[in-house]
């Protein structure tokens, strides 16, 4: 990298866990990031970034950036640290790890990471070879779509399925639990164009958010009841002869069983579960079946309840019932990650099996840290790319565990997050412009390259360099750690795969991005003639994997089917009522906690501009629910259940239905009055499939504070 005087621009990539994976134009002036904007040439980015990222230079040069390794000098959580050198930090870690491994074995060390950075080099799998090399406990990462991805693979197989750009050709677009305008902004122009061409846009969501406002029809469903709606839609489609019998006969397994199975799920029955009108359910099913082509964009919240995985399966069955796959712009859009020929197996190295090493689901971190799990005690926690003190349920147990004086915690971070505050050693991490990476995308079909553009801020290092250093210090001889970034990238993808034809690393470095070699969006209907990637090659309405026990989705330990109690999944998608909502009269409100518009999960929750934009933690409450509790707009309220209480400002609005409350996630616990944020209210119970979380089945009560 050459830093020169004066101003120059580079093409880079937004590193965030966001489906849009924007191509960025970065202006560097005198060796510093000056400005970022969206790349106007990129067919998906189309020139704009988003509200979170427009002032990215402030993020890079924030006075709060961690710039050197730090060692704790005060009590846990006090935030008292002193700078130390990298050598000292690595020595401290190696000494403790050797001692822990000798005394309690490597499983007493628990790594913890997610997608703070989504790059192929520095993202999800970057630490796996190191920790697997030591034989530590394995951290199972299922809290973002693990359930719905499993449902998808069970029903359709690992197929890219739909090019998001082809939504311009859709005539009926169902946005099912996705706040596109906040969370997938760059998809919106494609939907808007379809709408301008006459498509009807339907939003199914408990919240009338900014996306629902723009829809032609908003169905305000009760949280956790989507399976009832999808099953009743199938009931109507079969009962009224709206199914595409030819597609069913040729490209599905189990249509007759499914048709019989859904006879019980009438619109009247589903109306009781969902809070929707039976006639609206019929209309939705009829319009969806009649439109050519119809499209469903499914968001992550579907999976987050007792029947959430089954809801996702039912939704993934729908396009086959009406033959939507026949057309460009027909089918279902979840995430087209499967289009990218990433060698996940090589990136994370050989994964130990469940009978070889302890696997700890990330959702159970609080339990793991407070001695509630089998196996050796967790004596050390290593966190990178994640902020569990904010993003996972059971916040009180997580904070209590992190406060253990005997827990040796290492955190690699940009900022002193609620998690890092409890560390013994904090290690400074680089941001996008300070490191090389290549991005796949879970929202479009382009690879995007990001070159290092500036010197690292302070002594920060990229995640892959962090693990090179740790591997050397721990004496791991895995040759992976001696590879350069380019050498790692050479192995990270199957560059000879057909969809990589014409794409080289050199080309990506020059042009910034490249569309996978797949048909252009206007000709992309990959399942027009079937060819699904399930074991049968067909849409498995009856799943052959359901009874199969322990398959691991080919993506980084996400998605292991099986009900919470370990019993097999039903062969056909099946209804289960919410577990918590409606079960206890003391907690009559259903709480959801969707994403914050101005934060990226918990990131930017410490930045003034984004905090201003997002405002304080707010609870959206229906006017009737507010009135019956004597709560006025702007009042301080206490939101509580048996797990705990959080404080918020009441936002009295009919954007939510009576009986439902919404409190976005992302605010830091430390920045919240009372020291807890919304995940203090959520349970660590799993959903039905893939050990997904259950944010959409949380019961609370609210009172004036
Ligand atoms: N601004 C912003 N953008 C983001 C993120 C962020 O934090 N902020 N996070 C990124 C990440 S990691 C992800 S996974 C994506 C997620 O993007 P989305 O899939 O849009 O995720 P959520 O906001 O969690 O939930 C989407 C919608 O589901 C609704 N919902 C909740 N429960 C239910 C239910 O039971 N049924 C139905 N039908 N709807 C329900 C919520 O009201 C919400 O509007 O966004 C990414 N983009
Ligand atoms: N209540 C509720 N909780 C939720 C959700 C919800 O809808 N409701 N959504 C869930 C979902 S979908 C997701 S994906 C998870 C998100 O969970 P996380 O991925 O843990 O979310 P972030 O808050 O983005 O935390 C990432 C952390 O990594 C740090 N980081 C960023 N880049 C780097 C890097 O290059 N190196 C290192 N070392 N660190 C880096 C950031 O500073 C940040 O603190 O949250 C889940 N939690
Ligand atoms: S967070 Fe998402 S929308 Fe915003 S710049 Fe990054 S990729 Fe684009
Ligand atoms: Mo996510």
Q: For residue 548, what pLDDT is reported?
A: 60
Q: For residue 429, what pLDDT is reported?
A: 98
Same domain? 302 vs 242: yes
Look at 28-37, 45-54, 377-386, 542-551 and tell me which has the smallest mean pLDDT. 542-551
Q: Which single residue is written with the structure tokens 């900014």?
A: 210
Same domain? 76 vs 51: no
**Helical (H) or strand (E) element with 310:** helix 308-322
- What is the total count of domains within the chain? 4
Residue nearest to atom 5 of ligand 3 (CA): 49
Same domain? 313 vs 400: no
User: Residue 560 pLDDT more than 60?
Assistant: no
Q: Is 564 within the bounds of a domain?
A: no
Q: Is 154 within the bounds of a domain?
A: yes
Look at 336-340, 366-370, 544-548, 661-665 and tell me which has the smallest mean pLDDT. 544-548
Question: What CATH number is attached to the domain comprising 246?
Answer: 3.40.228.10
User: Residue 586 pLDDT more than 70?
Assistant: yes
Residue 422 to residues 77, 80, 382, 396, 523: CA-CA distances in angstroms? 4, 10, 12, 14, 52
Report the C-alpha gap between 391 and 680 in whole angstroms: 10
Q: For residue 413, what pLDDT is reported?
A: 98
User: Residue 682 pLDDT more than 90?
Assistant: yes
Report the C-alpha gap between 122 and 117 in whole angstroms: 6
Q: Using one digit for the tens of pLDDT, what is the confidence trace for 87-120?
A: 999 999 999 999 999 999 999 999 999 999 999 9
Q: Is 13 within the bounds of a domain?
A: yes
Q: Using one digit for the tens of pLDDT, what is the confidence trace for 479-521?
A: 999 999 999 999 999 999 999 999 999 999 999 999 999 999 9
User: Do the beta carbons of residue 539 and residue 251 sit within 8 Å?
Assistant: yes
Q: For residue 352, what pLDDT is reported?
A: 75
Q: For residue 344, what pLDDT is reported?
A: 87
State the average pLDDT over residues 653-663. Answer: 98
pLDDT higher at 170 or 373: 170
Q: Is 343 within the bounds of a domain?
A: no
Question: What CATH number is attached to the domain comprising 384?
Answer: 3.40.50.740
How many CB atoms are located within 10 Å of the residue 18 CB?
23
Beta bridge partners of 369: none
Considering every ligand atom shown, identify the ligand nearest to the alpha carbon of residue 428 and give its number.
2
Q: For residue 559, what pLDDT is reported?
A: 39
Domain boundary among 451, 482, 515: 515
Q: Is 473 within the bounds of a domain?
A: yes
**Distance in Å, CA 416 to ligand 2 centroid:** 14
Q: Using one digit for the tens of pLDDT, what is the confidence trace for 596-636?
A: 999 999 999 999 999 999 999 999 999 999 999 999 999 99
Q: For residue 5, what pLDDT is reported?
A: 61
State the average pLDDT over residues 223-228. Answer: 98
Beta strand spans in 616-670 (E): 618-621, 636-641, 644-652, 660-662
Same domain? 118 vs 163: no
Mapped to the 3 state alphabet, what secondary structure does 94-130 carry? HHHHHHHHHHHCHHHEEEEECCCCCCCCCCCCCCHHH
User: Residue 175 pLDDT more than 90?
Assistant: yes
Structure tokens at 19: 């489906």
Ligand 3 in reach of 18 Cβ (< 6 A): yes
> How many CA atoms, within 13 angstroms, populate the side-chain half-sphere of residue 166?
27
Look at 45-59, 204-218, 249-263, 559-573 and tell me which has the smallest mean pLDDT. 559-573
Considering every ligand atom shown, identify the ligand nearest to the alpha carbon of residue 299 and give its number.
1
Which atom of ligand 3 lies closest to the CA of 51?
4
State the average pLDDT over residues 178-198. Answer: 98
**Distance in Å, CA 601 to ligand 2 centroid:** 5
Same domain? 400 vs 494: yes
Which atom of ligand 3 lies closest to the CA of 14?
6
Same domain? 163 vs 310: yes
Considering every ligand atom shown, identify the ligand nearest to the alpha carbon of residue 386 and give its number.
2
Percent of the chain predicted with pLDDT > 70 = 96
Same domain? 119 vs 265: no
Report the C-alpha gap between 72 and 405 in whole angstroms: 11
User: Do the beta carbons of residue 440 and residue 342 sit within 8 Å?
Assistant: yes
State the average pLDDT over residues 415-420. Answer: 98
pLDDT higher at 2 or 42: 42
Domain boundary among 42, 60, 78: 60
Q: For residue 561, what pLDDT is reported?
A: 46
User: Residue 1 pLDDT more than 90?
Assistant: no
Q: How confident is the model at residue 223 (pLDDT cuts 50, 70, 90)?
A: very high
One-character DSSP codes across 21-75: --EEEEEEETTEEEEEEE-TTSTTTTT---TTTTTHHHHHT-TT---S-EEE-SS
Same domain? 233 vs 132: no
**Distance in Å, CA 32 to ligand 3 centroid:** 21
Beta bridge partners of 618: 649
Residue nearest to atom 17 of ligand 1 (CA): 183
**Distance in Å, CA 475 to ligand 2 centroid:** 30
Q: For residue 375, what pLDDT is reported?
A: 85
Question: What CATH number is attached to the domain comprising 34?
Answer: 3.30.200.210
State the average pLDDT over residues 656-671. Answer: 98
Q: For residue 142, what pLDDT is reported?
A: 87
Same domain? 379 vs 317: no
Domain boundary among 482, 515, 548: 515
Q: Which single residue is written with the structure tokens 């050197």?
A: 68
* Ligand 1 first shell, C-beta below 6 A: 17-18, 52, 144, 176-179, 182-183, 204-207, 209, 221, 223-224, 226, 299-302, 305, 592, 594-597, 599-601, 666, 696
Q: Using one digit for the tens of pLDDT, what is the confidence trace for 121-161?
A: 999 999 999 999 999 998 888 889 988 998 999 999 999 99
Report the C-alpha gap between 674 and 30 in whole angstroms: 44
Ligand 3 in reach of 437 Cβ (< 6 A): no
Q: Name 194's Cβ contacts closer than 8 Å, sequence gap at least 6.
A: 167, 168, 169, 170, 171, 173, 201, 329
Q: How confident is the model at residue 3 (pLDDT cuts 50, 70, 90)?
A: very low
Q: Name 651's Cβ contacts closer than 8 Å, sequence gap at least 6.
A: 618, 619, 620, 621, 633
Same domain? 175 vs 218: yes
Report the C-alpha gap between 591 and 80 in whole angstroms: 36
Q: How confident is the model at residue 553 (pLDDT cuts 50, 70, 90)?
A: low
Count of residues in the chain: 705
User: Residue 415 pLDDT more than 90?
Assistant: yes
User: In terms of DSSP bridges, do strands 81-83 and 7-13 run parallel, antiparallel, or are they unpaired?
Assistant: unpaired
Domain enclosing residue 176, as ranges? 146-337
For 255, list phi and psi in degrees, rounded to 5. Answer: -60, -40
Mean pLDDT, rounded, of the chain = 94
Look at 22-26, 343-347, 445-449 and tell me which has the smallest mean pLDDT. 343-347
Q: Using one digit for the tens of pLDDT, what is the confidence trace for 327-367?
A: 999 999 999 999 999 998 888 887 777 778 888 889 999 99
Residue 486 to residues 432, 505, 508, 511: CA-CA distances in angstroms? 16, 8, 12, 16
Q: Using one digit for the tens of pLDDT, what is the confidence trace for 358-410?
A: 888 899 999 999 999 888 899 999 999 999 999 999 999 999 999 999 999 99
483-521 burial code (b ≥16 CB/10 A, e <16): eebeebbeebbeeebebbeebebeebeeebbbbbebeeb
Which atom of ligand 1 lies closest to the CA of 597?
1
Longest dimension (CA), the chain: 72
Same domain? 131 vs 186: no
Q: Is 558 within the bounds of a domain?
A: no
Q: For residue 271, what pLDDT is reported?
A: 98
The model's pTM is: 0.97
Shortest CA distance to 85 belongs to which of 66, 99, 71? 71
3-class secondary structure, 684: coil
Shortest CA distance to 604 belongs to which of 49, 23, 12, 56? 56
Which strands sit side by side in the sheet containing 32-38, from one edge to the other? 7-13, 23-29, 32-38
Q: For residue 556, what pLDDT is reported?
A: 44
Q: Using one digit for the tens of pLDDT, what is the confidence trace for 258-305?
A: 999 999 999 999 999 999 999 999 999 999 999 999 999 999 999 999
Same domain? 421 vs 484: yes
Shortest CA distance to 113 belongs to which of 323, 523, 427? 427
Cis ω before 293 (30° cut-off from 0): yes
Residue nearest to atom 14 of ligand 2 (CA): 144
Cis ω before 231 (30° cut-off from 0): no
Shortest CA distance to 665 belongs to which of 593, 575, 558, 609? 593
Structure tokens at 572: 């056909």
User: In terms of DSSP bridges, do strands 23-29 and 294-298 run parallel, antiparallel, or are they unpaired?
Assistant: unpaired
Q: Is 580 within the bounds of a domain?
A: no
Structure tokens at 255: 């249509």
Rg (CA), the chain: 24
Q: Is 618 within the bounds of a domain?
A: yes
* Distance, C-alpha 561 to centroid of its chain: 18
> How many CA atoms, within 13 angstroms, populate the side-chain half-sphere of residue 669?
27
User: In terms of DSSP bridges, do strands 172-176 and 294-298 run parallel, antiparallel, or are they unpaired?
Assistant: parallel
Q: For residue 14, what pLDDT is reported?
A: 98
**Distance in Å, CA 431 to ligand 2 centroid:** 14
Question: What CATH number is attached to the domain comprising 612?
Answer: 2.40.40.20
Report the C-alpha gap between 436 and 132 in whole angstroms: 24
Residue nearest to atom 8 of ligand 3 (CA): 22
Is residue 470 left, alpha or beta, with left meaning phi > 0 and alpha meaning psi from -120 to 50? alpha
3-class secondary structure, 149: helix
How many CB atoms are located within 10 Å of the residue 547 CB?
11
Alpha-carbon dihedral sign for residues 580, 582, 585, 589: positive
């Amino acid at each position: 990298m050459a830093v020169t005087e004066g101003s120059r621009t580079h093409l880079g990539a937004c590193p965030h866990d966001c489906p849009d994976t924007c191509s960025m134009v970065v202006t560097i002036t005198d060796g510093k990031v000056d400005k970022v904007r969206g790349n106007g040439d990129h067919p998906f980015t189309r020139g704009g970034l988003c509200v979170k990222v427009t002032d990215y230079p402030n993020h890079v040069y924030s006075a709060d950036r961690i710039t050197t390794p730090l060692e704790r000098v005060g009590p846990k959580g006090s935030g008292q640290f002193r700078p130390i050198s990298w050598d000292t930090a690595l020595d401290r870690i190696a000494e403790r790890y050797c001692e822990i491994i000798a005394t309690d074995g490597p499983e007493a060390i628990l790594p913890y990471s997610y997608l703070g950075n989504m790059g192929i080099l520095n993202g999800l799998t970057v630490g796996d070879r190191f920790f697997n090399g030591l034989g530590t406990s394995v951290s199972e990462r299922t809290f973002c779509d693990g359930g719905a991805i499993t449902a998808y693979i069970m029903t359709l197989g690992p197929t890219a399925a739909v090019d998001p750009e082809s939504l311009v050709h859709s005539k009926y677009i169902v946005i099912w639990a996705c706040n596109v305008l906040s969370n997938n902004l760059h998809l919106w122009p494609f939907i808007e164009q379809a709408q301008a061409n006459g498509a009807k846009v339907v939003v199914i969501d408990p919240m009338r958010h900014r996306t629902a406002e723009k829809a032609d029809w908003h169905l305000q469903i009760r949280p956790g009841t989507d399976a009832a709606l999808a099953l009743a839609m199938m009931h109507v489609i079969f009962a009224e002869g709206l199914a595409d019998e030819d597609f069913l006969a040729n490209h599905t397994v189990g249509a007759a069983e499914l048709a019989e199975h859904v006879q019980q799920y009438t619109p009247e029955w589903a109306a009781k579960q969902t809070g929707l009108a039976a006639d609206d359910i019929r209309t939705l099913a009829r319009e969806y079946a009649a439109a050519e082509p119809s499209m469903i964009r499914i968001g992550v919240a579907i999976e987050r309840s007792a029947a959430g995985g089954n809801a996702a399966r039912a939704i993934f069955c729908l396009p086959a019932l009406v033959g939507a796959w026949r057309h460009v712009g027909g089918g279902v859009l979840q995430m087209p990650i499967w289009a990218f020929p990433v060698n996940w197996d090589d990136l994370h190295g050989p994964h130990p099996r469940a009978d070889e090493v302890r696997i700890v689901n990330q959702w159970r971190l609080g339990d793991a840290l407070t001695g509630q799990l089998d196996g050796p005690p967790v004596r050390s926690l290593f966190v990178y790319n994640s902020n569990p003190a904010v993003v996972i349920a059971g916040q009180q147990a997580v904070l209590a565990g992190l406060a253990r004086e005997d827990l040796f915690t290492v955190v690699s971070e940009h900022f002193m997050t609620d998690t890092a505050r409890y560390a013994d050693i904090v290690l400074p991490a680089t941001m996008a412009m300070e490191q090389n990476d290549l991005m796949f995308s879970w929202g479009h079909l382009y690879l995007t390259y990001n070159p290092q553009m500036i010197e690292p801020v302070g002594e920060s290092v990229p995640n892959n360099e962090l693990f090179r250093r740790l591997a050397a210090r721990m004496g791991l001889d895995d040759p992976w750690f001696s590879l350069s970034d380019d050498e790692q990238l050479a192995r990270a993808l199957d560059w000879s795969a057909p969809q990589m034809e014409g794409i080289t690393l050199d080309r990506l470095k020059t042009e910034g991005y490249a569309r996978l070699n797949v048909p252009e969006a206007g000709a992309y209907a990959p399942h027009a003639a079937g060819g699904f990637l399930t074991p049968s090659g067909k849409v498995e309405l009856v799943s052959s994997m359901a009874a199969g026990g322990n398959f691991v989705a080919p993506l980084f330990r996400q998605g292991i089917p099986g009900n919470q109690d370990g019993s097999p999944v039903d062969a056909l998608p099946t209804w289960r009522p919410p577990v918590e909502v409606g079960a206890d009269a003391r907690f009559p409100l259903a709480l959801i906690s969707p994403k914050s518009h101005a934060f990226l999960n918990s990131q930017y929750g410490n930045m003034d501009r984004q905090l201003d934009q997002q405002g304080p933690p707010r609870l959206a409450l229906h006017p009737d629910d507010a009135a019956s509790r004597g709560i006025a707009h702007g009042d301080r309220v206490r939101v509580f259940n048996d797990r705990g209480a959080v404080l918020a400002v009441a936002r009295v609005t009919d954007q939510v239905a009576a009986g439902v409350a919404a409190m976005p996630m992302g605010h830091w616990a430390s920045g919240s009055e009372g020291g807890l944020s919304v995940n203090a209210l959520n349970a660590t119970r799993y959903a039905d499939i893939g050990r997904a979380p259950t944010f959409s089945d949380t019961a609370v009560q609210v009172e004036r504070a």
